[in-house]
Structure 1
Amino acid sequence: MSQEQTLPSTGSADGNESGNGLSKRTLGVPALVFMIIAASAPLTVIGGGVPSNFAVSTNLGVPLSFIVLGVCVALFSVGYAAMSSHIRNAGAFYAYISQGLGRATGVGASWVALVSYNAMQVGIYGLFGFALASFINDKLSTNIPWWAAALVGFVIVGWLGVNKVDFSAKVIGVLVAGEFLAVIVFDVISFAVQPEGVSSVGLAPSDLFTASVGATLAFSMAAFMGFESAAIYSEEAKDPKRSIARATYIAVGIIAVFYALSSWAMIIGTGPSNIITESQQQGPDLVFNFLTTNGAVIVSDTAQVLFVTSLLAALIAFHNAVARYAFSLGREGVLPRSLARVNRRHAPVAGSLAQSALAIVMLAIFAIAGTGSDLGTLYPVLTFFSWLTNTGAFGLVLLLVMISVAVIGYFRKHAAGYSLWTRIVAPALAALTLGTVFVLIVVNFNVLIGSDGFSPLSWILPALVVVPGIAGLFWGLRLKKKRPEIYRGIGFGGASDTSA
């Protein structure tokens, strides 16, 4: 028997229990929550993102920004979770927008999603390679290049990508638990040290809503990326009607509160009068130097190891998301049907291998381009990681706004049993608030990629997301005219919808 099979073009979104689709009834709520939080990468956010936010924005309101954004994301989740009980499709964004705003728009959104998720996943290799190489070189007095360390992660992620998703979930669960433990230790020590005492600095509205609020919110929004990924696993969830919504709400609540508390602890532990200066001088080393000074070397070393595994967990989570988008688009004939190929473990092997191929090509390009760079060891962080992950965040926030509008469109036809709040009010508020965040990202994009003043990259990188989206829209319109049988199945798992 062949180890690989391709789904028929008329396969339903739900698939079947046998060998042609993704694993069924595999992931419960805890596994889904771990998948979501892994993509968010808690230790990466606290160790790298928060000090960078303080350093660049010079805004003390970073803790409050997580609460504000948590409310925005919770508003989005109301309609998103409601739709998840109706739509089970591995290409979540694509399917939701197709059924809420039209199939051609959905195809455009799917290409935006593919570019954005790939950019997030591939870009993380830059920081992973830097962090792993730096740790090994420091401890063993070696000189391993960042790209060689990144290849270690590449092999692990690629291997897990062609195995059953529940195995990846178990690996991620262990890694995320370790991340939380490390951050909790940092929080406890911070509140114990408190050089200037415990205060509400960082939580007051006057701290956040200053001239730099835009840059602060743009930075903090990246910490939530991946919260929407539960719906990507709807075909593999044990109880998709309930588990997707529950996992999303739980993950959003944990992310918002945990990041707010931990960034506030960073202010308390470092001192409100010193946090901006220390963040600018130490950057991502702030957390680890703090643990070395106030804890022990073994505590700091452990945290650095968990920082690396945090990035590995995020790589796995985003890799799985990309593979399932490719699987969904291949199944429906929007992309080559060969991408819908699965193996005996029900893993989307073709999508996984395609993502791995793109990752290794991009890794090679940046490794060659960085030879002899003036940026030195920070090259993979300041270019590979910063450019691609911020490009991915740009695209994903754009998709969040589109889905908020799509929810309203979808429930115009499926209103039965849902309140006005779920159908219109919450998604409209989400579109407004997340749309504002998107504008802030656009305005501050040069800041996010570390560029002073105007830079061609500030429009080239966003164009890498927007142009494929426009091309996808026209491709969808072409399918409507030339391949109506494929067009009718867009967003419905390939099964023709009679309302087309």
Structure 2
Amino acid sequence: MTSAPDTLASNRLGVPAIVFLVLAAVAPLTVAIVVLPLAIAFGNGGGIPVAVIAVAVALLLFAVGYAQMTKELVNAGGFYAIAVKGLGRAAGLVTGIIATLGYNFFVAGALGTLGFFTGAVVLPTLTGIEVHWFLAAVVLFVIVFLLARAGIHVSAAVLGVALVLEVLILTAFAVSVLIQTGFSIEAFTLALGPEVLAGGSIWIALLLVATAFIGFEATALFGEEAREPRTTIPRATFAAIIIIGVMHAVVGWAIVSALGVRDAQTAALDHLAAGDLTLMLIDTYLGPVVGAISLVLLVVSLFAAQLAFHNSAARYLFALGRAGVLPRWLAATNAQGAPQRALAANFLFAVVVAGVFALVVETDPEGNPLPPVLTLVPVGLGFGTLAVMIVQAIAALAIVVHFRRRRDPRLWSTLIAPAAGFVALAVFSAMAIANFTLVAGSEALYVRLLPWLLVAALVGGVAYAAYLKSRRPEVYARLSGDLERFDELAAV
């Protein structure tokens, strides 16, 4: 039910639906198979549950201030809208550009993982037939696009089913470890020991674990489509962070307990090349049949994440198009209230970027073609992760500045907690820049140069804001006027 051609469908999403959208973007099974083993290998080893809890606490502190902000702000612009509200139009424009680049690159990079695991891993394992990764990715992405175009409520329902399946397999694994081996308390005593806290490994662990929370911030993007957004969005944010934190901590605890806390890092390093640590443990504790099922569910997890991030990327394009910063053509919605043109733009961008990597095939020193997980994925997911982290930090700063400017008397919820969250997010962002090749998973020169794209976005955004202010003041005014319009609508 849409009241205007540039308005998203309202009253479609409650707290559970938004949590499904966010948790699907986080892709818990993918995190368990890909991210947690990396964090164990390069981070603090058997102490990984402590790193997960620390990141969750930092994000919850940010969410305290974020909850107060969303009570005053309803918009599809996500953290771009928050930056406009707290830091002004120029900073908001820069934030919007970085976020839009980040989410669009993320969707393009995710095509590499989705296509590779579907066409080169799961299908050959189950049927003996291998399909080129690009063909598999495009076929699945067409389905993702059609689901997103059908309306956000359809996406939420599909993602809910995918999420339940992921959580069931991870819960079964954790319970099996608990029953057969038991959870080792040493995962906490060792992690809190001075030899770990004094070393650099804990910081790498925190950085990699922080990447496993990417997606929680998308709650802000669904404000216009939520029921009672001023209460729904804060509740969904708190619920998402807590659920993500508990899930990652328990699964990480199960993994290191199964390996032996003191041997976990060595085991993770040994399985690094094959990337099969978690799959091996699932096969061991739940049997080969469940192991095969978990491989299929990995594709389901990647599909769900693609659908969630496709929706998120489109809403940034939609919001900036409606404000007039990007072409107004992007701000059209269909009969289901979905931003169909923004979805089409994101689809086209991702397919073109992935297509370039499919056509220009890189090879290793022996002349063997490199899979997309070593070429496209570092570019898309690496840059996207870095961009989203920086946007989170900017939003945290904007919240503090906004409430200090108003001299809000609630010191805990509008100053202390969000300021602590900002410090943590700023540290994560700085570490992501300093260790970008680790986050991206590639040492290639073009990957190492990607962070400079953020510098270009910063300079370009400031210059574009100055141009709009002097030459197109009506568009410059719309950066904040658009927010006020939808705040008023939400209050009705």
Same fold by TM-score greater than 0.5: yes
2-structure distance, mates of 1:24, 1:394: 31
**In 1: Cα distance, 2:360 partner to 2:178 partner:** 43
Query: Deviation per CA, 1:436-475, whole angstroms, max 9, x where unpaired?
Result: 12222122222223346xx634641111233123211211
Question: What does the per-residue CA deviation read over 1:410-461, in whole Å, with 9 as the maximum and x for residues that have no partner?
Answer: 2245556x61112221222122121112222122222223346xx6346411
Residue matched to 2:489: none
Tell me how far 1:484 sits from its aligned partner: 1.2
Letter in 2 for 1:148: L
Please show how residues 31-46 of structure 1 align to structure 2 within 5 Å: 31-46=17-32
Q: CA deviation at 1:150?
A: 1.3
User: What are the superposed Cα offsets for residues 259-290 of structure 1, whole Å, 9 maximum, x if unpaired?
Assistant: 11110100111222432233223343222222
Which SS does the other structure have where 1:60 is aligned? helix
Selected match of 1:54 from 15, 22, 40:
40
Q: Corresponding residue for 1:270?
A: 259
Alpha carbons of 1:492 and 1:160: their partners in 2 closer, same or farther (altered >3 Å)?
farther
TM-score (norm 2): 0.92
Amino acid at match of 1:31: A
Q: What's the counterpart of residue 99 of structure 1?
A: 85
Deviations 1:355-404 (A, max 9, x none): 00011101111112336556968622222223321211211111121111
Letter in 1 for 2:218: S
**For 1:487, what is the secondary structure of its paired residue?**
helix
Matched, 1:396 2:396: no
Conserved? CA contact 2:186–2:261, under 8 Å: no
- RMSD (Å), alpha carbons: 2.2
Contact 1:64/1:208 (8 A) holds in 2: no
With 312-321 and 387-396 compared, the bigger mean Cα shift is at: 387-396
The match for 1:313 is: 304
Distance in 2 between residues matched to 1:59 and 1:491, nearest whole Å: 46
CA change 1:101–1:132 in 2 (3 A) is same
CA pair 116-23 structure 1, distance change in 2 beyond 3 A: same
CA–CA distance in structure 2, aligned partners of residues 18 and 423 of structure 1: 34
Q: Where does residue 175 of structure 1 map in the other structure?
A: 162
The answer as to whether partners of 1:65 and 1:208 remain within 8 angstroms in 2 is no
* Residue in 2 that maps onto 1:212: 201
> Who is 2:107 aligned against?
121
Conserved 8 A contact 1:127-1:385 = yes
Q: Cα deviations across residues 458-500 of structure 1 (Å, max 9, x unaligned)?
A: 6411112331232112111211111111111203427689xxx
State the distance in 2 between where 1:496 and 1:181 align. 42
The residue number in structure 2 matching 1:379 is 371
Residue in structure 1 matching 2:462, options 467, 473, 476? 473
User: Structure 1 residues 191, 336: closer, same or farther in 2, change over 3 A?
Assistant: same
Residue aligning to 2:74: 88
Distance change >3 Å, CA 460–CA 267, structure 1 → 2 = same
Question: Does the aligned pair in 2 maintain the 1:59–1:208 contact within 8 Å?
Answer: no
Q: 2:315 aligns to what?
A: 324
Note if contact 1:95-1:492 (Cα within 8 Å) is conserved in structure 2. Answer: no
Number of matched pairs? 479
Q: Distance in 2 between matches of 1:495 and 1:16?
A: 19
Name whichever structure is richer in helix by fraction.
2
* Contact 1:126/1:385 (<8 A) preserved: yes
**Paired residue secondary structure (2:16):** helix
Structure 1 distance, partners of 2:419, 2:47, is 26
2:147 corresponds to which letter in structure 1? Answer: L
Helix, strand or coil at the partner of 1:389: helix
Could you tell which deviates more after superposition, 85-94 or 423-432? 423-432
The amino acid of 1:478's aligned partner reads: Y
What are the equivalent positions in structure 2 for 1:271-310 lying under 5 Å apart? 271-283=260-272, 284-310=275-301
Say whether 1:484 aligns with 2:446: no
Contact kept, 8 Å, 1:194 with 1:271, in 2: the verdict is no
Distance 1:260 1:425 in 2: 26
1:191–1:198 CA contact under 8 A, matched in 2:
no
Aligned identity (percent) is 33
Bigger shift: residues 443-452 or 391-400: 443-452
The match for 2:358 among 349, 352, 367 is 367
1: CA distance, partners of 2:5 / 2:91 = 31
Task: Spell out the pairing of 1:203-242 with structure 2 (5 A cutoff).
Answer: 204-206=191-193, 208-209=196-197, 210-242=199-231
Give the partner amino acid of 2:184: V
Distance (whole Å) between structure 1 residues aligned to residue 269 and residue 457 of structure 2: 36
Corresponding residue for residue 163 of structure 1: 150
Matches of 2:448 and 2:268, distance apart in 1: 28
Q: Which moved more, 1:470-479 or 1:94-103?
A: 470-479
CA contact (8 A) 2:22 2:219 kept: yes
User: Is the contact made by 1:488 and 1:496 (CA closer than 8 Å) also made in structure 2?
Assistant: no
When structure 1 is superposed on structure 2, of 347-356 and 369-378 the one drifting more is: 369-378
Within-5 A mapping of 1:246-261: 246-261=235-250
- Shifted more, 278-287 versus 203-212: the winner is 203-212
Residue 208 of structure 1 and its aligned partner are, at CA, apart by: 4.9
SS for the counterpart of 2:10 is coil
TM-score by length of 1: 0.90
Whether contact under 8 Å (2:378, 2:442) holds in the other structure is no
Which residue does the alignment assign to 1:4? none
Amino acid at match of 1:330: G
Consecutive unaligned residues in structure 2, runs of 5 or more: 487-492
Tell whether the 8 Å contact from 1:202 to 1:208 is kept in structure 2 after alignment. Answer: no
Query: Given residue 376 of structure 2, which amino acid in structure 1 is its aligned partner?
Result: F
CA distance in 1, matches of 2:370, 2:162: 25
Distance 1:335 1:201 in 2: 49
Q: Is the 8 A contact 1:194 1:270 kept in 2?
A: no
**Counterpart of 1:325 in structure 2: which amino acid?**
Y
For structure 1, which runs of at least 5 residues remain unmatched after alignment? 1-14
TM-superposed deviation, 1:202? 4.9
Q: Secondary structure at the match of 2:3?
A: coil
Cα distance in 1 for partners of 2:47, 2:434 equals: 19
Q: Which amino acid aligns with 1:282?
A: H
Aligned residue number for residue 61 of structure 2: 75
In 1: Cα distance, 2:309 partner to 2:253 partner: 28
> Which of 278-287 and 210-219 deviates more?
278-287
